[in-house]
Structure 1
Amino acid sequence: MIATSLHTLPHGISLSCRTAGEKGRPVLMFLHGFPEAAFVWDGLLEHFARPENGGFRCVAPNLRGFEHSSAPLDVAAYRPKHLVQDISALIALEGGKLECLVAHDWGGAVAWNLAAGHPALMEKLAIINSPHPGTFLRELQHSPAQQAASAYMNFLIRPDAEALLAENDFRRLWDFFTNMGAAGGPHAWLTETVKDQYRAIWRRGLTGPCNYYRASPLRPPRPGPPHNDPAAAAVSIPRDMLEVHLPTLVLWAMDDTALPPALLEGLNDYVPQMDLRRIEGATHWIVHEQPALVAAHLQNFLR
């Protein structure tokens, strides 16, 4: 049974959360990405809350800007330090330390930063198709293929992005699901029921979700007028902000057209305790496509 609640954090941000399992049990926390919301984890919350699967306390917050969570209008409010602060504070409310932090897409960007900067907050880390900032920066700076694959980011920072995304019953957002995989990929999971869940989230507003892209320089450069925007070309990240010294499971769907497998090259240099699992025949939306497979890999990792 999924419960919903609103947690107000000491710094004034509120996060709406979906939970399963008893308080006081070891905690798993799940972080969603764009253009998703916490409900995408419901099946995994229920799975891992069951006694035979560990009896965990499972918590999936809607990140700031999504669903009923606080949605500041200021782009600067979506910089990594603020996103990390939100999750750190939520972990404190849930007992102070996680058994594992599980994250996908933008949730993974937050999780990589949190694990590097605050490793004492978790025993383990699990990442699902979310690029490590070190390899992502390298590819954005030097790989034309990655620059092309990430070109959509520069659409999402446009001042009219929200209006364009909302047009024609969110046509462009559905395209994110149906186009981001090999030959369009199978999308039997995108039922009308699931679409209605997404519509309910998106109708609450898209400015917060788009502000994640506006606040981040990890985008392809836009040289020349009118932008003259170096984006990732002007970024450097200190090495100590990139290393993760925790047992880390990386699940990588190999048909993810936005995040090519080159992002895995050199990853073990930053994450020496990494267990990398390449999954053929799955796209960026593997949590929707193959939830039982994701659960099985997580179950083995948590043992």
Structure 2
Amino acid sequence: MPRRLLALLLAPSRLLLALRARLARAALAAAALLSGVAFALWAAALLLRRGPRAALRRRRRDAAPAGLADGTFGEHRHLRLQGSGLRLHYVTRGPPNAPLMLLLHGFPQNWFCWRHLLQEFSPRFRVVALDLRGCGASEKPPGRDSYRLELLLGDICEVIEALGTPAGTPRCVLVGHDWGGLLAWEVASSHPQLVEKLVVMDAPHRGVMAAFMARHPSQLLRSCYVFLFQLPWLPELLLSLADFQLVRTFLTSVRTGIQDPARRLSEQELDSYLFSLSQPGGLSPPIHYYRNLFRAAPPPREPPRPPALLLWGSRDAFLDPRLGPAHLRWLRPSARLRLLPAASHWLPDERPRPLAQLIGEFLGGGAGEANIPIIPGIPGIPGIPIIPGIPVSPSSPGIPGIPGIPGNPIIPGIPIIPGTPIIPGTPGTLGIPIIPSIPSIPVPPVPPSSPSSPVSPVRPAPSPPPPSPPRTWRARRARPNPPGTARTHPNPARSLSEPLTKPFRTYTRRPNPPETAEPTRSFSEAAEPTRNRRTHPKLP
């Protein structure tokens, strides 16, 4: 009875969860179809612009380009995993007994994106750039289920246990970019004992990403390629058109590619990324990463316990730069965020030197010089190293490092005018001799000026004149008419017997032109009266 009651109470919750899952799958399918239509239109435009022959052409790459398979950037090795039996390829550089720094790449790259950091950190660490399962020179097991998220995390944990130091409790500094950063978040959260410090570049945590996309739908447009990769066989076809033109666009275009013109990828460096993708069966495995992304278990809610450094490009075309502060609010207080100005999504290729400085500061010391402190600067601007070892002279407190000039002896015996202050020296310019003063000469007092003195005393300024009173006007008295003068008043309306107050002047007026009589107009009672008062009289 209690079990049936409990099942009845949980039935509405299970129904809502099932409905939510169905709605999520339907929304994902709709987004995938829309993305497929949009990229199919791009492919149609490519076919019309270049023609079918050029659009379907695919260059054959038999030999690896220089630097990818040789020992230019490090020693190439393979590791056989005990759990899955896969053979993973990695490139290592640095002392064998040094602490391990594990570098994880993203899509569509391989270990080659870490070629600069391999050289920067090899003096202090045993740097290992790993080719993930199905990428680069590592083995590529067939099938979509071979690239589930839990299998990828198991591979990374086995690599840390096999190559990490010390032997009993292996740990590493874990660095990840793009898909490698997403895996680094999961490893640091689920296996914190294997990670000493965490560095993530342009890679979101799954939980933070889901909450951010709910508040900022514009991120859905930036991540449209993720929905495209949910479709079967179409992504492989679109990516391989015109010798991987879509991949070239991701890496080298003005909007999505590297922003710094001095760091643009050369054709040889671009071939290092396209070589493994162009091999038979080399394009589907990295796309399976995205196809299994929505089938994985829910992400951990707790932030990773190891200290974390988050690096983000301000011009990332695939991930909103506001994701960086969103992660900082979720992470622990010890986490740091650095936003690199005018940097794209491809930070390891575009900004290797600033990355080395920021990571070296985070790890305690520079990339190759552990004892040089770094001034913490503005977020996104790397610190400036301080040059140690230059002693500061005690005689020059204002300017450090410049020895002071010893002072010249002062000539004695010359009296100084009493009461004259000495100008104090500026800090840092001690030792400048002060010019000795001239003996004081008594000056007789100036007597006050007398009346007989030729020098006239100073007179005070004259006071301004008082203001004049306001001017008044008196009305003129009216003059009466002379006796015996009777004239016509100019105003006929007034009485003629009223005396004039002013002599009357006669004016000669010109005759008016003959007036034309206006025609009379009869009005009926039904007619509307006009309102022209100048022509017609006012009607009652």
C-alpha contact (below 8 Å) 2:170/2:194 kept by paired residues: yes
Instruction: For CA contacts below 8 A with separation 6 or more, give which structure has more relative contact order.
Output: 1
C-alpha contact (below 8 Å) 2:75/2:92 kept by paired residues: yes
Question: Are 1:15 and 2:88 matched, yes or no?
Answer: yes
Structure 2 partner of 1:278: 339
Distance 2:116 2:171 in 1: 19
Question: Are 1:175 and 2:237 matched, yes or no?
Answer: no
Name whichever structure is richer in strand by fraction.
1
Partner amino acid, structure 1, of 2:231: R
Distance 1:279 1:15 in 2: 32
Question: Are 1:77 and 2:146 matched, yes or no?
Answer: yes
Q: Which runs of 5+ in 2 are unaligned?
A: 1-72, 365-540
Say how many residue pairs are matched: 282
Structure 2 partner of 1:258: 318
Question: Are 1:154 and 2:227 matched, yes or no?
Answer: yes
C-alpha contact (below 8 Å) 1:181/1:284 kept by paired residues: no
* Among 360, 363, 371, the residue aligned to 1:302: 363
Structure 2 partner of 1:191: 266
Structure 1 partner of 2:301: 239
Distance 1:28 1:134 in 2: 26
Structure 2 partner of 1:227: none
Structure 2 partner of 1:128: 201
Structure 1 partner of 2:287: 210
Distance 1:199 1:147 in 2: 27
C-alpha contact (below 8 Å) 2:249/2:256 kept by paired residues: no
Residue 184 of structure 1 and its aligned partner are, at CA, apart by 7.5
C-alpha contact (below 8 Å) 1:98/1:122 kept by paired residues: yes
SS at match of 1:131: coil
Describe the shift of the 1:207–1:75 C-alpha distance in structure 2 as closer, same or farther (beyond 3 A). same
Distance 1:183 1:25 in 2: 35
Describe the shift of the 1:184–1:266 C-alpha distance in structure 2 as closer, same or farther (beyond 3 A). closer
Name whichever structure is richer in helix by fraction.
1
Residues 69-105 of structure 1 show CA distances to partners (whole Å, capped at 9, x for unaligned) of 1222222222221111000000111135334101100
Residue 163 of structure 1 and its aligned partner are, at CA, apart by 2.4
C-alpha contact (below 8 Å) 1:135/1:265 kept by paired residues: no
Which structure has the larger Rg over C-alpha atoms?
2
When the two structures are superposed, what TM-score results if normalisation uses the length of structure 2?
0.50
Structure 1 partner of 2:104: 31
SS at match of 2:237: helix
SS at match of 1:239: coil
- What percent of counterpart residues are identical? 33
When the two structures are superposed, what TM-score results if normalisation uses the length of structure 1?
0.87
Moved more, 101-110 or 266-275: 266-275
* Among 53, 57, 75, the residue aligned to 1:3: 75
Structure 2 partner of 1:67: 136
C-alpha contact (below 8 Å) 1:21/1:57 kept by paired residues: yes
Residues 129-183 of structure 1 show CA distances to partners (whole Å, capped at 9, x for unaligned) of 1012221111233421011110111222332212221121110001111348479
Distance 1:183 1:42 in 2: 19
Structure 2 partner of 1:200: 275
Q: How does 1:38-49 map to 2 (within 5 A)?
A: 38-49=111-122
SS at match of 1:278: strand
Partner amino acid, structure 2, of 1:33: G
C-alpha contact (below 8 Å) 1:23/1:57 kept by paired residues: yes
Partner amino acid, structure 2, of 1:209: P
SS at match of 1:23: coil
Moved more, 276-285 or 182-191: 182-191
For the aligned residues, what is the CA RMSD? Answer: 2.1
Partner amino acid, structure 1, of 2:357: A
Moved more, 246-255 or 65-74: 65-74
Distance 2:226 2:254 in 1: 13
C-alpha contact (below 8 Å) 1:256/1:282 kept by paired residues: yes
